[in-house]
Structure 1
Amino acid sequence: MSSTASLTEKNVDRFAPVSLVSASAYIVTANPRVAAQNIRELIALARANPARLTFGSSGVGAASHLSAELFKAMAQVDMLHVPYKGTGQALTDLLAGQVDLLFAPSQTVLPHVKAGRLKALAVTGAKRAQTLPGVPTVAESGLPGYQAVGWFGLLAPAATPGSIVLKLSADVNSVLAQAEVRAKMTALGADPGGNTPEEFARFIREDQAKWAKLMREAGIEAAE
């Protein structure tokens, strides 16, 4: 899903996709008092205590919300959503034990995980994060097929000539291929992107369809 609120189903046609820049998995993070050390134990705990476990998010329809809703749907568990006005507030209450879980960007929670103030149960991407190689993915922990990543991409106004879009895409891909750039992005928990305008357009369509379907089925209306 887009890591910002700037691209939606309502306005996507106003832009010409140029290239995916990066994709970042989230970390399924728990307060230390939660009696689960991994995803299988979390699912068992949630099933034994319907609607008792709470998860924070940065707002209704945000990436941190939808990644947890996808988990709920696939694991067939009921957990209580507590929306906040930003990740910072959600993180503060997670650390204080006011909420149990947070599906959060790596750079937000990694220092607290390494300090032992939070537990990392899994990462939401298709592969393990280089910053937390010992933490498994949700998919390998009992929910095959689960994947939720936030992404950033470059788009141009829809009326931009195709030749310029192609030139921009080539330039972006050239930068993303540089070893130094890739190393810095990876250190921040982001997987470097890079693709053609056509590939990026297809990626956007598929990504939006996936999350729109989840929102319809879960009865979620994103905040305007």
Structure 2
Amino acid sequence: MPTRILRFLLFMACAACAGGAGSAPAYPDRPIKLIVHTTPGSASDAAARLVAQEMGRRLGQQMVVDNRAGAGGAIGVNVVAKAPADGHTLLAGASSVMVMLPAVSRRKLPYDADADFAPIGRISASPFLLVVGGHSGIASLAELLAAARADPGRISYASAGPATNPHMLGEMLSLLSGTVLRHVPYRGPGPAQIDLLGGSVDMQFDTPSATLALIQAGKLRALAVTGSTRLAALPEVPTVGELGYPQLQLLGWTALYAPRAVPPAVLALLQETLRQTLLSPPVRAGLLAMGSQPDTLIGDELLQEQRKSRERWRQLAQDRGIALD
């Protein structure tokens, strides 16, 4: 059966459950704007563009990516929180703004990550790699931590900014290993990586998509991966669990959201369209090539997961005195 017919039947069935198919407006009746709160070229942006193209094809309307970076991502997120709840403005939200920022912010954010959004589903999830310079002479996590213990505060780690996933991973590693690691925040992962390559900092947690080519070229060395399994592209790199630090397991993810008051029929259609999109071989191949994995955490399952994860990192932030004003 053609995709457009399946889409129509699904939407009409959902509309009937919501209170009568005859009263449901056509959806989508114009292009859908997908707000991405990061700059073009980021991991979230790349995944969002790949998924948006296929979802737009299945929905019969173009899904247009609109990058709204700034204020740690809060600007773009707030745009969607305040948008009309008709399903024509959606958010590609990363775990950094839906989990980490609410967990560590002292000030009241302009959005509520749970109350202001209806979760559609995660589109990708990726572990982080703990990397050091290729010419650093450090060949393992054990060697890195031994150096940190020998001279507390000398070993530094770069992050994309305060309270980002890489920062919190560094804090967690310091806590678990009983070492003093010096945090050096940057304005984004790019400048952080430049200084890592130049030897100004000693280590960094970064995504596979940003580091794989440099690792293969010998410019960086991966010591551990924060996923529960080894990466197919780097089978020799052990997981943090294998190295005795299972609490360091963390996936950075990106998910789609609609404004909270979106009609149930529209939300159901978007959720099912995303589910089918993530089963598409070209989309799966594209995400895997980025170092991400297609994810199928849909709807309330996503909401429950982000709440659980937020509490984990909120506790760490309190224990380590980390807060954003």
TM-score, with length taken from structure 2: 0.65
Match of 1:30 among 111, 132, 136: 132
1:86 matched to 2:178? The reply is: no
- Alignment identity in percent? 34
Match of 1:14 among 116, 133, 152: 116
| Counterparts in 2 of 1:168 and 1:140: CA distance versus 1, 3 Å | same
Task: Kindly state the Cα deviation for residue 122 of structure 1 after the two structures are TM-superposed.
Answer: 0.9
SS in structure 1 at match of 2:215: helix
Residue-by-residue CA offset, 1:97-139 (whole Å, 9 max, x unaligned):
0000010111112111111111111111111122212211111
Provide the residue aligned with 1:218 in structure 2: 320
Provide the residue aligned with 1:178 in structure 2: 280
Task: Kindly state the Cα deviation for residue 80 of structure 1 after the two structures are TM-superposed.
Answer: 0.3
Residue-by-residue CA offset, 1:151-172 (whole Å, 9 max, x unaligned):
0001110111233222211110
Q: How many residues align?
A: 223
Tell me which moved more, 175-184 or 34-43. 34-43
Taking the aligned partners of 1:81 and 1:135, their CA distance within structure 2 comes to: 24
Taking the aligned partners of 1:162 and 1:41, their CA distance within structure 2 comes to: 53
Letter of the 2:120 partner, please give it: V
Task: Kindly state the Cα deviation for residue 73 of structure 1 after the two structures are TM-superposed.
Answer: 1.6
Task: Kindly state the Cα deviation for residue 4 of structure 1 after the two structures are TM-superposed.
Answer: 4.4
Task: Kindly report the root-mean-square deviation, in angstroms, between the aligned alpha carbons of the 2 structures.
Answer: 1.8
Taking the aligned partners of 1:55 and 1:146, their CA distance within structure 2 comes to: 15
Task: Kindly state the Cα deviation for residue 25 of structure 1 after the two structures are TM-superposed.
Answer: 0.7
Task: Kindly state the Cα deviation for residue 3 of structure 1 after the two structures are TM-superposed.
Answer: 4.4
1:187 matched to 2:187? The reply is: no
Taking the aligned partners of 1:114 and 1:188, their CA distance within structure 2 comes to: 15
Match of 1:76 among 178, 194, 200: 178
Structure 2 gaps of 5+ residues are 1-92, 103-108
For the pair shown, which has the larger CA radius of gyration, 1 or 2? 2
Tell me which moved more, 153-162 or 32-41. 32-41
Provide the residue aligned with 2:216 in structure 1: 114
Residue-by-residue CA offset, 1:199-221 (whole Å, 9 max, x unaligned):
11111111211111111111111
Cα contact 1:130–1:186 (8 A) shared by 2? no
Letter of the 2:242 partner, please give it: E
SS in structure 2 at match of 1:186: helix
Provide the residue aligned with 1:96 in structure 2: 198
Letter of the 1:110 partner, please give it: L
Taking the aligned partners of 2:230 and 2:94, their CA distance within structure 1 comes to: 20
Structure 1 gaps of 5+ residues are none
Provide the residue aligned with 1:5 in structure 2: 97
Cα contact 2:133–2:221 (8 A) shared by 1? yes
Cα contact 1:18–1:168 (8 A) shared by 2? yes
Taking the aligned partners of 1:156 and 1:165, their CA distance within structure 2 comes to: 8
| Counterparts in 2 of 1:2 and 1:220: CA distance versus 1, 3 Å | farther
Task: Kindly state the Cα deviation for residue 55 of structure 1 after the two structures are TM-superposed.
Answer: 0.4
Taking the aligned partners of 2:216 and 2:158, their CA distance within structure 1 comes to: 20
Provide the residue aligned with 2:244 in structure 1: 142
Provide the residue aligned with 1:167 in structure 2: 269
Task: Kindly state the Cα deviation for residue 35 of structure 1 after the two structures are TM-superposed.
Answer: 4.1
